Structure formats: C-alpha cells, structure tokens
Structure 1
C-alpha cells in the first residue's frame, strides 16, 4: 500500500518541481575540501580503513579534510591504531556510482569500511526496491574485493530537517530518505559484519554548513566520534580475545 507522501506526489508535482528548481538556483555550491585522501598515521595494531560515499563522505561543508569526516575519524583512531586509510568519495555519487568507483580499485584488504550514501539516491528518485538491489550489489562487491571484518553503514540523513529545503519538498524527501534508510537497517540485521548507525544529530544550526545542506565541522566531529567508538570496540575486543 502506498504511503501518504507517495499518494500526494502526483497532485503536489507542479509545486515540488518549482521548489526543486528554486533550490538548485539558489543553492550555495560548496567544493570538496582540500587535503589528503589517503595516508598512514598512528601507532599500535594495524588497521586498514576505507571511507566511501557521497559529498558528506568527501567532506563538503568544511575547508580542509582535517575538519571533514575522514580527517576527524583519523584523528580519533590514530592514538589507538597504526591506521592506513583511504577516502573514495565524490559529490553527487549515488550507490550505483560508488559501485563503479570501487570496482575500479585493485583488490586489496580493508579491515573496516565506512559508507555514507543515500541522499543522492533520494533526490534521483531511486525506489526502495532499486536501492535494496544496489546495496546488495555493493555489499557483495565489498566482501569479494576487500574482505572487511566490519562495515559501518551511516544512516540516510533526515532530509526533512535540511534548512535549505522548503516544505512540502522537505517532507517528501524526508519520507523517502526514511524509506531508504529502512533498507540499510534491514540489511545490517541480516549480516553480522555490518552495523547500521543512524544519522541522528541534534537539531542545531551549528551542526549545518553554510549551504544548509551538508554537515559542519562540529557535525563531522560528532559523526566521526560515533564511528570511531564502534571501530575501537570491535577491534579492541578482537585483540583481547
């Protein structure tokens, strides 16, 4: 059965199209931050980390990678691990784009993979069924090519809270983002190596970049802290086992 937002898409279509065009015209386009996208840092047990996904994984919203998700995650993990890390993320990437990008990488081993995807799948109109199929394909690719012991799946952000989006467009996109996020939750429940981490930040203007769409440096720090806690728990327990 169709949900209310799906039923209302057709009668609201003219307004949604106008709002979408207006958002695109008025959007502040922020670049991906400068800085390293791979490296080695820290001491301790070796940990190989891959971060992949869209503009949020790439760090849009801050000026330097040191302020972005990758840089802050490295800063959290380096005191505990000999960290070898790599960032494979691009603005605008959907799940299908990330699959193509990772297929082009050489086969290698990563202990941990962090994924941040979904927003562009929402705005591209990807259905729940399509998203589930593509996510299954992505998981098979990760296992076959990189053999990670832990896959951390960041939840799809609550798009209804994005300041840059007007109503009812924000509500429509928010409902679809929740729908796609349910795919990620279900997927993680079926596989022991996967963990779904809901993207739930406090409703605070300080956590949003100046474009009203991407995380701020403070938000990236909180996000990295949640991820690093799960990684440290998983790999500290393996060492003590």
Structure 2
C-alpha cells in the first residue's frame, strides 16, 4: 500500500520530512570508548556495526549506550574484546563502503544494527537487500566472522516524533523491509532478532526518535543470551555452552 500512496503523497511527505529535519532536536553521539576488553572466561570477540542507535545516540555516555550496556552484561560470562563501528545516518550502502576501510581482523560475532536510515531514505528495497548480502559476504571475507546477528527495524509507525502521513508511510515501508530481511537472514542462517520493545515514553530519548539509556539497558539484556551462544571456536577447551 505504501508503494502506491507514497508517489501520490510525495509533495506532502517531502514537506513534512524537511520541516521535521529543520525542527527536530539533534542529539550527538555520546563520548566514551569505542573498543575495550572486559571480563574473564572464554574469549569472545564482538564487532558492533551500524547506525546512530548502535553509536548510542540518546545516551549521555557510551557506558549507558548499547555497547557499554552489552559489555557490562557479557563481562560476567566471558573475556570480551569488543569494538564499535557505527555512525549517525549510516545506511546499508554506506556501511558497506565503511567496511572497506577497516583493517582485516578476526571476530567471533558481528552484531548488525541497521535499517532505520534505509527506510527513511526511501532507497529501493532490492538495492538494500543486495547491499545486505554484500555486507554479510564482506564480514565473512575480511573478519572471519562465523556468526552474524541482525537486529530488527524499530516500528517507525509508532515513533512519536513523526507526523502523519509520513509516520504511516514509513511504518509500512519498515514492515515490508523487515519481512524481507528476516526471510533472507533465515535462508542464510543468520539469527534475526526483531525489535520488540514498546515505544513507551521512558524508553525514548528526548528527541522522540532514539532509545533512552533504559531502552539500551533492556536491549542489551535481550541480546545477551544470543551473544552468549558462542561458536565452538570461541570457547575455551572443555567450556560448556552457556545459556
């Protein structure tokens, strides 16, 4: 339905998007380390790759953002070496380009946090899917990553910042892309974790668009068991799988 209505509503959608961009509160990426080593136990090398939510926008410091919350949640269970490569505005296409600048190094798990800017940029969905496949191949070729975990797209149709009908169009577009990405991920054997947090006010940052520190904490808590399903190569000898 959004494919039919978006062209008809394009003048209004463009006007709403420009007005939103001019008036919206712009939060910075928080300060703090973007790599580190914590914990004791079996080794786990984690790359967090993505957009402003991966970069922690909405939190005052990286310790309260996704990377810091994940490090704290994983440290009691493993010796974690983590690295954050994320920036505001990142799309699947720009992330693919950024990967080419990163030095080759091994990771056990890559957590991919992307999708919102793919939706809001109105990039063609087949191009996004092709870029995702190329990202997965680049991660395998450059970083020897045996596990790629893909996070789902937040429900843009519920974002309080977005006016109607822009909110409605983006919500439907996000849902379509989500279904396609989930199907592709299942076929490729990549875990796909839908975004299930409610859009409650205390879970949103003051800009009405990004997660709050509480949301990042809950998100990390939900991701932890999936990240602790370690590849066999990442566990120390005789270390049983963790649940």
Q: Calculate the TM-score normalised by the size of structure 1.
A: 0.94
**Which of 26, 31, 43 is 2:28 aligned to?**
31
Indicate the RMSD between aligned Cα atoms, in angstroms.
1.5
Contact 2:156 2:174 in 1 (8 A): yes
Unmatched runs of 5 consecutive residues or more in structure 2 = none
Q: Distance in 1 between matches of 2:132 and 2:231?
A: 25
Alignment correspondent of 1:19: 16
Alignment correspondent of 1:240: 240
**Which of 186, 196, 202 is 1:200 aligned to?**
196
Q: Distance in 1 between matches of 2:229 and 2:5?
A: 44
- Further displaced range: 170-179 or 181-190: 181-190
SS at match of 2:13: helix
Alignment correspondent of 1:81: 78
Q: Distance in 2 between matches of 1:49 and 1:203?
A: 28
Superposition deviation, residue 149 in structure 1? 2.4
Do structure 1's residue 190 and structure 2's residue 187 form an aligned pair? yes
- Further displaced range: 195-204 or 57-66: 195-204
SS at match of 1:233: coil
Superposition deviation, residue 191 in structure 1? 2.1
Unmatched runs of 5 consecutive residues or more in structure 1 = none
SS at match of 1:240: coil
Contact 2:46 2:83 in 1 (8 A): yes
Q: Calculate the TM-score normalised by the size of structure 2.
A: 0.93
Q: Distance in 2 between matches of 1:10 and 1:151?
A: 35
**Which of 203, 210, 219 is 2:206 aligned to?**
210
Contact 1:5 1:175 in 2 (8 A): yes
Superposition deviation, residue 183 in structure 1? 2.5
Alignment correspondent of 2:4: 7
Q: Distance in 1 between matches of 2:140 and 2:169?
A: 34
Contact 1:51 1:57 in 2 (8 A): yes
Contact 1:208 1:215 in 2 (8 A): yes
* 1:59-92, Cα deviation, whole Å (9 max, x unpaired): 0001100000000000000111110000000000
